[in-house]
Amino acid sequence: MKPTNIQEKLDLFADQWSPKKIGELNGQQILLAKIQGEFVFHQHEHEDELFMVLKGQLRLELRNGTVVVNPGEFYTVPKGVEHKPTAVEETHLLLFEPLSTKHTGDVRADITLDTYEEI
């Protein structure tokens, strides 16, 4: 067994808005994602979702304002809160969410993934 190197995992993919599963912890999945542009407004009715910025800047648009998350910071979107992730420049994220969390929550879009590739 050896530790997981996040940068090595990030170097394995270039596609955006397609999180990659790098581990599990107590019913949570640990994901890496590269994003740029806008996602869709969605919510996760029963799950919180943690976004940690590794590189770039994440803007989480909420119905009542916007949260800006910079490298080294994280923000947890509470269950049931509508949010739309956006990033002007390519942004790298580490995400923690329950295994049951659907990619685009209650919304079905062209970008929706039913399963995450494990790397």
Please give the domain boundaries of the chain with CATH numbers for all domains: 6-118 (2.60.120.10)
Extract the tokens encoding 32.
Answer: 């890496």
Q: Which of 5, 44, 43, 46 is nearest to 23 (CA)?
A: 5
| CA angle (75, 109, 85) in 5-degree steps | 20
Q: How far apart are CA 62 and CA 60, in angstroms?
A: 6
As a whole number, the mean pLDDT across the chain is: 89
Q: Is the pLDDT of residue 28 over 60?
A: yes
- β-bridge partners, 109: none
The percent of residues above 90 in pLDDT, for the chain, comes to 68
Do 52 and 74 contact (CB within 8 A), yes or no?
A: yes
What confidence tier does 108 reach under pLDDT thresholds 50, 70, 90? low
Average pLDDT over residues 89-95: 97
Residue 65 token pair: 């304002």
